[in-house]
């Protein structure tokens, strides 16, 4: 054996122990073989979405595990505040693309690894791009982006006579962190719960009840919110808008919050906390990212090699106070918007009163849809009709007057089909309106 081969044997020795012999945790279908390591190193193609806190950890973990064909996509550039935890970046990289710098760092440090960067939005690519991967790993901080890629992977599924073609499944491993909390989950599109199946796990931003803020504050955050929501608009010290990046604004809110907290014997109002609350920042914790990324990378390895049974299917992690983890099986939602293939119906209680803008509110505010900027079209007498689209300026102007019309005035009827396009999915959602029948006294 040459010296080089000896080094190579040692370098992958630990993986060989897992891949070339069976063990008590092996997947029932697992057949130990030296070809599995070859598959990881030569054939298996991964996509990492996000090159931030989680993304840096993921790229490092996967590259050191032997994966060589890795693509990374991120639209962001490097900022000074990233450098404490996004360890693939240096001071001189500020302003450069995260994906590009991360890729070149890994390629330089890990021999044989070929990371391909994509400095763009995930929405810039279509299905031909996503279809090339064996697995997709997400290290994202945006629910909209998660839902979009989830929808994309679902749209790649092939059904033959209603049966899912297993070879069309691209598993998605999703990691997320928020301060000292995080999650890792495995999604088999079309088979297990998808992002949209569990939308209620991602509640809209935390808000404190106004009565608590106004009357019974208990937390430093309540005092800051009070100044932000009630005192600022009254006094408008620097105009009506708060600029979270303006130190004068933050200082003013800090001083007023401190006064209020003293009044209620609450401790803990600091300048940093004020900044955090005003800008809605949850501090990123490097160790949480490291743990979640390691869990995700392990799941990638298990799915790519079948050496072990994968996570089923959702793990929560919390190290606020000690370390706590819990695993449960998130369930597929029977009428999921994204993965169910069941036509959606929307019950309209009062079609004579309901205006188009009320319908838009339903798509944005109801827990089941949580859309961002939906555009609506329909068919009337077999012809395509645009109801409202806000994202294209001249169409917005032409359709704005529809917002104040009722559904009946727009020609919509019981059973009408509405096509909804939104940032949260690459696919257009079709929704059938069901008008509630009036109660008739008999
Ligand atoms: Zn689903």
Residue 188 lies in a domain: no
Spatial contact of 175 and 288, defined as CB atoms under 8 Å apart: no
Report residue 442's pLDDT band, with 50, 70 and 90 as the boundaries: very low
> Which pair of structure tokens corresponds to residue 436?
């509630």
Q: Are residues 263 and 297 in the same domain?
A: no
Residue 441 reports pLDDT greater than 80: no
Q: Are residues 92 and 120 in the same domain?
A: yes
> Given 269, 295, 311, which residue is the final one in a domain?
311
Residue 7 reports pLDDT greater than 70: no
pLDDT for residue 325: 96
Report residue 439's pLDDT band, with 50, 70 and 90 as the boundaries: low
Residue 235 reports pLDDT greater than 60: yes
Q: Are residues 302 and 367 in the same domain?
A: no
Residue 31 lies in a domain: yes
Q: How far, in Å, from the CA of 334 to the mean position of ligand 1?
A: 8
Count how many domains the chain has: 3
CATH number assigned to the domain comprising residue 403? 3.10.290.20
CATH number assigned to the domain comprising residue 82? 3.40.50.720
pLDDT for residue 10: 83
Q: Are residues 230 and 306 in the same domain?
A: no
Residue 420's domain comprises: 344-435
* Mean pLDDT along residues 288-312: 96
Residue 336 lies in a domain: no
Least confident of 107-116, 188-197, 240-249: 240-249
Q: How far, in Å, from the CA of 128 to the mean position of ligand 1?
A: 22
Q: Are residues 220 and 154 in the same domain?
A: no
Q: Which residues are catalytic?
A: 211
Q: Are residues 146 and 77 in the same domain?
A: yes
Q: Are residues 228 and 293 in the same domain?
A: no
Per-chain mean pLDDT for the chain? 92
Residue 195 lies in a domain: no
Q: Are residues 302 and 166 in the same domain?
A: yes
pLDDT for residue 206: 60
**From CA 138, how far away is CA 118, in angstroms rounded?**
14
Residue 374 reports pLDDT greater than 60: yes
Residue 45 lies in a domain: yes
Q: How far, in Å, from the CA of 335 to the mean position of ligand 1?
A: 8
Spatial contact of 401 and 357, defined as CB atoms under 8 Å apart: no
* Mean pLDDT along residues 378-382: 89
Residue 406 lies in a domain: yes
Segment 328-371, tens digit of pLDDT:
999 999 999 999 988 899 999 888 899 999 999 999 888 889 89
Q: Are residues 257 and 377 in the same domain?
A: no
What's this model's pTM, rounded to 2 decimal places?
0.85
Q: How far, in Å, from the CA of 104 to the mean position of ligand 1?
A: 36
Q: Are residues 296 and 149 in the same domain?
A: yes
CATH number assigned to the domain comprising residue 232? 1.10.10.520
Report residue 205's pLDDT band, with 50, 70 and 90 as the boundaries: low
**From CA 72, how far away is CA 74, in angstroms rounded?**
7
In order, the DSSP letters of 254-320 are HHHHHHHHHHTT-----HHHHHHHHTT-----HHHHHHHHHHHHHHHHHHHH-SSPPP-SEEEEE-S
Q: Which of 22 and 156 is assigned the larger pLDDT?
A: 156
Segment 135-153, tens digit of pLDDT:
999 999 888 999 999 999 9
Q: Are residues 11 and 37 in the same domain?
A: yes
Residue 86 reports pLDDT greater than 80: yes
Segment 172-198, tens digit of pLDDT:
999 999 999 999 999 999 999 999 999
Residue 149 lies in a domain: yes
Report residue 283's pLDDT band, with 50, 70 and 90 as the boundaries: confident
> Given 228, 255, 279, which residue is the final one in a domain?
279
Q: How far, in Å, from the CA of 185 to the mean position of ligand 1?
A: 14
Q: CA torsion sign, 332 to 335 to 339 to 341?
A: positive
Segment 162-174, tens digit of pLDDT:
899 999 999 999 9
pLDDT for residue 203: 62
Residue 318 lies in a domain: no
> Given 279, 296, 319, which residue is the final one in a domain?
279
Q: Are residues 22 and 159 in the same domain?
A: yes
Q: How far, in Å, from the CA of 344 to the mean position of ligand 1?
A: 13
Q: Residue 429: CB partners within 8 Å, gap ≥ 6?
A: 337, 344, 419, 420, 421, 422
Q: How far, in Å, from the CA of 114 to the mean position of ligand 1?
A: 33
């Amino acid at each position: 054996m040459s010296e080089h081969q000896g080094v190579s044997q040692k370098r992958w020795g630990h993986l060989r122990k897992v891949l070339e012999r069976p063990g008590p945790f092996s997947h029932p279908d697992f057949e130990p073989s030296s070809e599995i390591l070859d598959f990881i190193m030569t054939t298996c193609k991964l996509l990492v979405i996000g090159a931030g806190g989680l993304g840096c950890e993921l790229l490092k973990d996967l590259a050191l595990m032997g994966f060589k064909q890795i693509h990374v996509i991120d639209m962001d550039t490097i900022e000074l505040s990233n450098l404490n935890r996004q360890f693939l970046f240096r001071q001189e990289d500020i302003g450069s693309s995260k994906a590009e710098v991360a890729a070149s760092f890994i390629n330089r440090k890990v021999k044989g690894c070929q990371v391909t960067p994509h400095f763009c939005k995930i929405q810039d690519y279509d299905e031909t791009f996503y279809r090339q991967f064996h697995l997709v790993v997400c290290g994202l901080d945006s629910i909209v982006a998660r839902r979009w890629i989830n929808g994309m992977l679902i749209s790649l599924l092939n059904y033959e006579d209603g049966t899912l073609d297993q070879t069309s499944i691209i598993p998605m491993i999703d990691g997320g962190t928020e301060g000292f909390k995080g999650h890792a989950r495995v999604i088999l599109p079309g088979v297990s719960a998808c992002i949209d199946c569990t939308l209620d796990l991602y509640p809209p931003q935390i808000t404190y009840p106004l009565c608590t803020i106004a009357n019974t504050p208990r937390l430093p955050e309540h005092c800051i919110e009070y100044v932000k929501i009630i005192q600022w608009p009254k006094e408008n010290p620097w105009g009506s808008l708060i600029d979270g990046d303006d130190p004068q604004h933050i200082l003013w809110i800090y001083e007023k919050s401190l006064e209020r907290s003293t009044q209620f014997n609450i401790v803990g109002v600091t300048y940093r906390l004020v900044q955090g609350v005003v800008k809605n920042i949850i501090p990123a914790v490097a160790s949480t990212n490291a743990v979640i990324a390691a869990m995700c990378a392990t799941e990638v390895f298990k799915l790519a090699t079948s050496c072990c049974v994968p996570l089923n299917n959702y793990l929560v992690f919390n190290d606020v106070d000690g370390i706590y983890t819990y695993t449960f099986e998130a369930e597929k939602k029977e009428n999921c918007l994204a993965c169910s293939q069941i036509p959606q119906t929307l019950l309209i209680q009062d079609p004579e009163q309901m205006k188009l803008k009320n319908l838009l509110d339903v798509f944005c505010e109801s827990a089941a849809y949580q859309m961002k900027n939906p555009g609506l079209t329909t068919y009337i007498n077999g012809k395509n009709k645009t109801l409202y689209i806000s994202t294209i300026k001249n169409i917005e102007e032409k359709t704005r007057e529809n917002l104040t019309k009722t559904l009946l005035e727009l020609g919509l009827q019981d059973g009408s089909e509405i096509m909804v396009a939104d940032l949260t999915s690459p696919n257009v959602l079709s929704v059938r309106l069901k008008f509630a029948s009036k109660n008739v006294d008999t």
